[in-house]
A and B are shown apart, each in its own frame.
Chain A
Amino acid sequence: MADDTATTTEGAPAAATDERRAALLAVFAEHLGNALLQSHIKPGQGLWIRVATTAWPEAAAVARDKAGLRFFDFLSAIDWLPSPYGRCEDSSVDVPFPPPMPDRSAAVPGYAGGDTRIQVLASLAKAGTDQRVLLKADVSDDDPRIGTWVNTYAGAAWHEREAHEMFGISFDGNADLRHIYLPSEFEGHPLRKEFPLLARVVKPWPGIVDVEPMPGGDPEDDAAEEGAEA
């Protein structure tokens, strides 16, 4: 699917290749105005909308009350920075610890763009239809903070707790941001890219060296591969 159907205008409807998603986008554009920063339509597949950080709770209200997206699917976050530890699974060379942090500009946001390293995202749908939208908002690198959704979608409370412990994002208005999956004394935010997996620091990834040859494969080929990897 080509990306040239993207619309990056200020709230204008998308190309007419997907009228129903364009209509959904138009609802958001009408009620959010300038707070709708960017959007992207993949015809037949999905709609991405990026809103201003300050308009995040308002976007939820618009989605529920104006666009009829009453089904809250999930709320989470994403860290676009490349991992400083590299792809350890594919590497037979130990990554030095601590590794140099990748440059901030290396963080390339996905659909509908973005200006920050970490983004909050949420998926909403209209039950019984294929109407669905992925809402996103930037959160600042230094003080990741955004408004809560619990006043609109009560189910967002636990999702915000998870995003809080995994990424360190504060949700203003959510009074109960205790850890939900991690032990209460856990320190750090494990889904941030700079979070070190300590087991890998003390022991290099062993997976690549003890791969057994496939049954029925050529034994000489397997021997040669093992030699090359070692």
Chain B
Amino acid sequence: MGLVESGKMPKPLTKLLNLSRKYSIWAYQWGLACCAIEMGAAFASPRYDVMRLGVIPFPASPRQADLVVISGTVTDKIVPAIKRLYEQMPDPKYVISMGSCTNCGGPYWDSYSVTKGVDQIVPVDVYVPGCPPRPEALLEGVVLLQERIHNEDMAERWRGGQDRQEPIVVG
């Protein structure tokens, strides 16, 4: 990784690395409410067969994950756990926020206990709106994230020179 850190990586090598990362996303499932059912359908059912897209939904811990899908109602009580989960993930890491609750509080926007959007705690790369979103919507979010990974300049990212990209919103 010396080449990467020094920022002198040849372009074809960058492409190759990005291609590899793009098609081997280890996705950690962080289901908190009913959206997790749709996430389960998208990630674990033969009907949607997420592995054909190059997503591997089997990390045993956040330390093995490239992507975390946070789906469901984030409450203030679970915020520390999500923070720790994100900090445990190795860079480069990506976050998909799935469903209205995770995006902004959703139907619980006025609750005393619900966090109004997980982006207050961790940076979000892809927002998937819906209450809940269909599995296809989550898969589109994954595909859009893969496009972003494909075109990423990793050398810039390691150096911290690359500004944080605008998050993707599905739909």
Contacts and interface: CB of A to CB of B under 8 A. Distances in A.
Q: Do A and B bind each other?
A: yes
B113 A182 contact: yes
A197 B112 contact: yes
A194 to B, nearest CB: 13
A23 B141 CA distance: 63
Interface residues of A, number: 12
Interface in A163-203: 181-183, 186, 188, 190, 195, 197, 199-200, 203
A205 B111 CA distance: 12
A188 B76 CA distance: 15
Interface in A190-220: 190, 195, 197, 199-200, 203, 205
**Chain B contact residues: helix, strand, loop or mixed:** loop
Contact of A195 (B79, B105, B112): B112
What interface size band does chain B fall in?
Answer: 10 to 19
Given A181-B77, A183-B76, A199 B113 contact: no
Contacts of B110: 197, 199-200, 205
B116 interface: yes
Nearest to B76: A183
Of B79, B105, B109, B112, the most chain A CB neighbours within 10 A belong to B112
Contacts of B116: 199
Contact of A190 (B77, B105, B112): B112
Interface of B: 76-77, 79, 105, 109-113, 116
Interface of A: 181-183, 186, 188, 190, 195, 197, 199-200, 203, 205
